[in-house]
Chain A
Amino acid sequence: MRIEHSFVCSLDNGLHARPASILAAKAGEFDAGITLTRQIEQGPPPADVCSVLSVVGLDVHKGDTCLLVAEGDDAEAAIGALRDLIDNVLEEADAAAEADAASRLARTTRLPIMLRRPGVQHAGGQAVCGGTGMGVAVHAGGLALPDWAAAAQPGELEAELTAARSAIAAVRADLDDRASHAASATEKALLAAHAQIANDPAVLVAIRSAILNGATAPQAVVAAAEKLSATLRAAASAYVRERAIDVQDIAMQLLDRLLPDDAGTTEIELAADSVVFAETLTANQLLRMDRSYLKGLVLGAVGPTSHTVILARNFGVPCIIGVEDVRGCARSGDQAVVDGDGGFVVSPVTPGVARFYERENGAREAREARLLPLTRRPAVTADGRRLEVATNAADAIEIARAVSTGADGVGLFRTEFLYLDRDAAPSEDEQYGIYRAAVEAAAGRPVIFRTFDIGGDKPAPYMRMEEEDNPFLGCRGLRLYRRRLSLLFSQLRALLRAGADAPPGSLKIMAPMVSVPDEAAWFRQQVIEAQRSLNESGVPAAADVSVGMMIEVPSVALSVDLFCPHVDFFSIGTNDLCQYWMAADRGNASVAPLCDPHHPSFLRVLRTIVDAARAHDKWIGVCGEMGGRPRDLPFMIGLGVNEISGSSRRVAALKLATREADAVGCRKLLDAACEAGSPAEVEALLDSFDWKATGADTRPVVDVECMRLGADAASKEEAIRHAVEVMWITGRTEAPRDVEEAVWAREETYSTGLGYGFAVPHCKCDAVKAPTLTVVRLASPVEWESMDGKPVSTILLLAVPAAEGDGGGAAGHMKVFATLARRLMHESFRERLESLDDPEKIAEFLVEELGIA
């Protein structure tokens, strides 16, 4: 029987991988041979509907007429079923693709003025870990065979074919297995799509034909992947082109099966300072890289909350994600710079780009050196509330770095990474070595170790966990311990041994995923048992250990008092608590907006938790994302937590900001936010509420610190940049690029070059912390489009915080600038200013002339 059905494609993104895979799955249920033809002149040959790759290769667009043909006994039923899908189901799959594409477009790219020049090649992405890093571009995850495998001669034809077939079967089984364990719908869909590609007849056909042409199985995999991805890349739709990456991904997995373990196809070897480019990168791949050479990461389809990104943040590796065409944004071996603040990567590195970053790094170092003495002191608010600022960490290197910038301790040492991506659990001794190094790196400061937090989302293969419909509500964290008692025991022993010589109380152990008081009591009992077993065998162990728990389950939130008898401390995991509280998976784009920690309901529960802990005199910290975000700092201070813990890079900034805060004001802000009607209202409060201590910034407008004579700048851009950097170094702004933008926005109305070699660039913006006059005298003048056409050598940068100018003390600062502007119109003033060649004298002269008391 032969049945035909003609239809017009109504999908906005065309017949891409997702709808195609839905059709293929259905077509596979029938015996009939089913083909699809795109009815255009000289169109491609009909595609087998069972092959997603073939269908995608048709490149069907919206509005194209297609012909579905089924031949076989059940042809009628098959066409009926496919028609139903086409008419009713595919639109939904298409919408999902659009949501994906939209999330990729949620970029944060901001190219600094200095780099907005012709010839600077850059690619944008979402900034997830700040800082900048420069190095050689290394493409990871590419399909390259080791030399010996590329040169290998094929064995028996049948042997090569069998090897290829069994590799495909193994990869397929593995993908199916992972899909069934996947924690989020997105991940599940991705794995299922991959499984389908592995299953795709076109893959086997391409591999077989390469083997028949004399290739070994691995060579055939590479050849087939190249051929298939070339077809996809030629497609007009960006979505289809992106599927080429999926094919490469499958090919890599096949190679992993076909080549010996140590062939190094997925291991990334770095031999010099490098920026690693990869469409996807596993946490394990990242862990195995030589981090002393890893200067930056440029990633494609990697989520902001993936473990890879969490690790990158912890390691302080500048990282951007969501980059389109990762492969195309740099040539292997070229220099590249990742800008994790601006959210972009530049490659190749032109001399101008290199100079920009050299200068910025120089300024950053100068700033850090200047701020170090302050950040090493305890952070105390202006009204006397102490806040410990700790770091999250996964290894000792990171702890050492955080401690050097002022971290008061480690608020969360994650241990699950030790358990993932390996065939057997880590031994007690292996763990001891790692924990001991962590304790030593903390140099007497407290370290909170969280015992392994493994569950559905982070399965460890040797733990063979039962399949769960809903792993996030399943057997994870502490719930797993009773079934894996020996694993917990060996970890507790290793931890207690590692803390044997640490100061009393500095070793802190906490359990994840505690929901009822009995579990907390049980956990403490296990620690005591482990201590006893070590004591009995005469092994040195920490005697004074603090035992605590994460608060991430809503049941705990409203009964903190019941847990107090069993624990020494609490730490709030805001990420999971928010997901459970709002019943929304933040990895699921359609519900993620619900999972907003600024929801008044969530702020209320945080307030309830902390109030209860404090009423019982229990130490409480925050180790979720909120704990490390400068924007949330007033909430953290308002809550009255003892400690916050986030990325090591943020420690210094958070400590400095704490010093300027007013704890009473922060509490008022929190209380107001709890009464707000929506997250948007909370954001508005955060923007407008004055939670800083009044008069905290008493720095003078004219300060000898902000005078730079003989500065080197080759252009107006560099001169402005230089002046803004002076503000950054002296702590008068935390966001030099924002100040720079504001100055240039003003500059665009008309030039601030007022003639006679003087320029008065100025701005009024949020990023300015204190009214500041910065004086920069250049070694050689630069063009400024001045009113008299002459180049400029003296720059007076006038910067005012946005809130200034509304009377009060602010008027005084504005008056200084107004007076300066007027005085500049007088030749005698300009001549005198130019004649002075000592910063002290210039400051003195200005103070006097401008009538500053």
Chain B
Amino acid sequence: MKIVAVTACPTGIAHTYMAAEQIEKTAKAEGHEIRVETQGSMGIENELSAKDISEADVAIFAVDIEVEKKERFDGKKTVQVSVSEAIKNPKGVIAKAGG
């Protein structure tokens, strides 16, 4: 499965990156292809391209705040979870996304 994900937390110092790492690590271990964009205090990093998004089967939003540039995902199947859920239970989050 091809997955794209966005992580974002209010301060953007720690949890954004923890969630990104957990999802990426777990998805890869399960044999999925994944790209994760972080929206932290350094702004958007590893920004997903239109191609990344269109090729993906699903988008995971692990966020506690509004996703920036959300319109990129219009019409895409999305799954939204909290940042802490992504950190705590990344396997469950990927399962929810259909993986």
Query: Among B11, B13, B15, B18, which residue has the most Cβ atoms of chain A within 10 A?
Result: B13
Q: Tell me whether B84 is interfacial, beta carbon within 8 Å.
A: yes
Chain B, residues 23-49, CB within 8 Å of chain A (1/0): the string is 001000000000000101110000000
Q: Which of B11, B20, B22, B40 contacts A763 (CB 8 A)?
A: B11
Q: Which residues of B contact A760 (CB under 8 A)?
A: 14, 18
Q: Is the CB of A825 within 8 A of B64?
A: no
Bound-state CA distance A746–B17 (Å) is 16
**What is the interface residue range for chain A against chain B?**
20 to 34
Q: Which residues of B contact A750 (CB under 8 A)?
A: 84
Q: Which residues of A contact B14 (CB under 8 A)?
A: 752, 760, 762, 798, 817-818, 820-821
Assuming the A-B contacts A754-B87, A762-B11, are A800 and B41 also in contact, with contact meaning beta carbons closer than 8 angstroms in the complex?
A: yes
Shortest CB–CB separation between residue B18 and chain A, in angstroms? 5
Q: Which residues of B contact A821 (CB under 8 A)?
A: 13-18, 21
Which residue of the partner chain A has the closest CB to B45? Answer: A818
Task: List residues 51-78 of chain B with CB under 8 A from any CB of chain A.
Answer: 64
Q: Is the CB of A818 within 8 A of B40?
A: yes
Bound-state CA distance A764–B17 (Å) is 16
Q: Which residues of A contact B16 (CB under 8 A)?
A: 818, 821
Q: Tell me whether B92 is interfacial, beta carbon within 8 Å.
A: no
Q: Tell me whether A731 is interfacial, beta carbon within 8 Å.
A: no
Q: Tell me whether A787 is interfacial, beta carbon within 8 Å.
A: yes
Q: Is the CB of B17 within 8 A of A822?
A: yes
Q: Which residues of B contact A787 (CB under 8 A)?
A: 84, 87-88
Q: Tell me whether A354 is interfacial, beta carbon within 8 Å.
A: no
Chain A, residues 783-807, CB within 8 Å of chain B (1/0): the string is 0000110000000001010001100
Q: Which of B13, B21, B22, B88 contacts A764 (CB 8 A)?
A: B13
Q: Which residues of B contact A819 (CB under 8 A)?
A: 17
Chain A, residues 814-853, CB within 8 Å of chain B (1/0): the string is 1101111110111000000000000000000000000000
Bound-state CA distance A605–B14 (Å) is 49
Q: Tell me whether B98 is interfacial, beta carbon within 8 Å.
A: no
Shortest CB–CB separation between residue A672 and chain B, in angstroms? 29
Q: Is the CB of B21 within 8 A of A814?
A: no
Q: Which residues of B contact A804 (CB under 8 A)?
A: 41
Q: Tell me whether A688 is interfacial, beta carbon within 8 Å.
A: no
Which residue of the partner chain B has the closest CB to A811? Answer: B42
Q: Which of B21, B40, B41 contacts A825 (CB 8 A)?
A: B21
Q: Tell me whether A504 is interfacial, beta carbon within 8 Å.
A: no
Q: Please tell me the number of chain B residues within 8 Å of chain A, measured between CB atoms.
A: 21
Assuming the A-B contacts A750-B84, A754-B87, A764-B41, are A825 and B13 also in contact, with contact meaning beta carbons closer than 8 angstroms in the complex?
A: no
Q: Tell me whether A749 is interfacial, beta carbon within 8 Å.
A: yes
Q: Which residues of A contact B25 (CB under 8 A)?
A: 825-826
Bound-state CA distance A388–B25 (Å) is 58
Q: Which of A754, A798, A811, A826 contacts B13 (CB 8 A)?
A: A798
Bound-state CA distance A564–B71 (Å) is 71
Shortest CB–CB separation between residue B92 and chain A, in angstroms? 13
Task: List residues 751-766 of chain A with CB under 8 A from any CB of chain B.
Answer: 752, 754-755, 760, 762-764
Q: Which residues of A contact B20 (CB under 8 A)?
A: 822
Q: Which residues of B contact A815 (CB under 8 A)?
A: 42
Task: List residues 505-528 of chain A with CB under 8 A from any CB of chain B.
Answer: none
Q: Is the CB of B88 within 8 A of A755?
A: yes
Bound-state CA distance A754–B42 (Å) is 22
Query: Among B12, B38, B41, which residue has the most Cβ atoms of chain A within 10 A?
Result: B41
Assuming the A-B contacts A787-B84, A787-B88, are A825 and B18 also in contact, with contact meaning beta carbons closer than 8 angstroms in the complex?
A: yes
Q: Is the CB of A814 within 8 A of B87?
A: no
Which residue of the partner chain A has the closest CB to B38? Answer: A818
Bound-state CA distance A755–B20 (Å) is 16
Q: Is the CB of B13 within 8 A of A822?
A: no
Which residue of the partner chain A has the closest CB to B88? Answer: A787
Shortest CB–CB separation between residue A794 and chain B, in angstroms? 14
Q: Is the CB of A825 within 8 A of B22?
A: yes
Shortest CB–CB separation between residue B44 and chain A, in angstroms? 13
Q: Is the CB of A764 within 8 A of B40?
A: no
Q: Which residues of A contact B88 (CB under 8 A)?
A: 755, 787-788
Task: List residues 390-405 of chain A with CB under 8 A from any CB of chain B.
Answer: none
Q: Is the CB of A822 within 8 A of B41?
A: no
Q: Is the CB of A746 within 8 A of B11?
A: yes
Query: Among B12, B18, B38, B42, which residue has the most Cβ atoms of chain A within 10 A?
Result: B42
Assuming the A-B contacts A787-B84, A817-B13, are A805 and B42 also in contact, with contact meaning beta carbons closer than 8 angstroms in the complex?
A: yes
Bound-state CA distance A57–B59 (Å) is 74
Bound-state CA distance A762–B21 (Å) is 18
Q: Which of A749, A755, A788, A822 contacts B64 (CB 8 A)?
A: A749
Which residue of the partner chain B has the closest CB to A825? Answer: B21
Which residue of the partner chain A has the closest CB to B17? Answer: A821
Q: Which residues of A contact B84 (CB under 8 A)?
A: 750, 787
Task: List residues 360-415 of chain A with CB under 8 A from any CB of chain B.
Answer: none
Bound-state CA distance A822–B17 (Å) is 6
Assuming the A-B contacts A764-B41, A787-B87, A805-B42, are A818 and B17 also in contact, with contact meaning beta carbons closer than 8 angstroms in the complex?
A: yes
Which residue of the partner chain B has the closest CB to A750? Answer: B84
Shortest CB–CB separation between residue B25 and chain A, in angstroms? 6
A822-B21, A826-B21 known, 16 other contacts, Cβ within 8 Å: A749-B64, A752-B14, A755-B87, A762-B11, A787-B84, A788-B88, A814-B42, A817-B14, A818-B17, A821-B14, A821-B16, A821-B18, A822-B20, A825-B18, A825-B25, A826-B25
Residue numbers of A with Cβ under 8 A of B are 746, 749-750, 752, 754-755, 760, 762-764, 787-788, 798, 800, 804-805, 811, 814-815, 817-822, 824-826
Chain A to chain B: the 3 pairs with minimum beta-carbon distance, closest first: A821-B17, A822-B21, A805-B41
* A–B pairs, 22, beta carbons within 8 Å: A746-B11, A752-B15, A755-B87, A760-B18, A762-B13, A763-B11, A764-B41, A787-B87, A798-B13, A800-B13, A805-B12, A814-B42, A817-B14, A818-B16, A818-B40, A819-B17, A820-B14, A821-B16, A822-B20, A824-B18, A825-B18, A826-B21
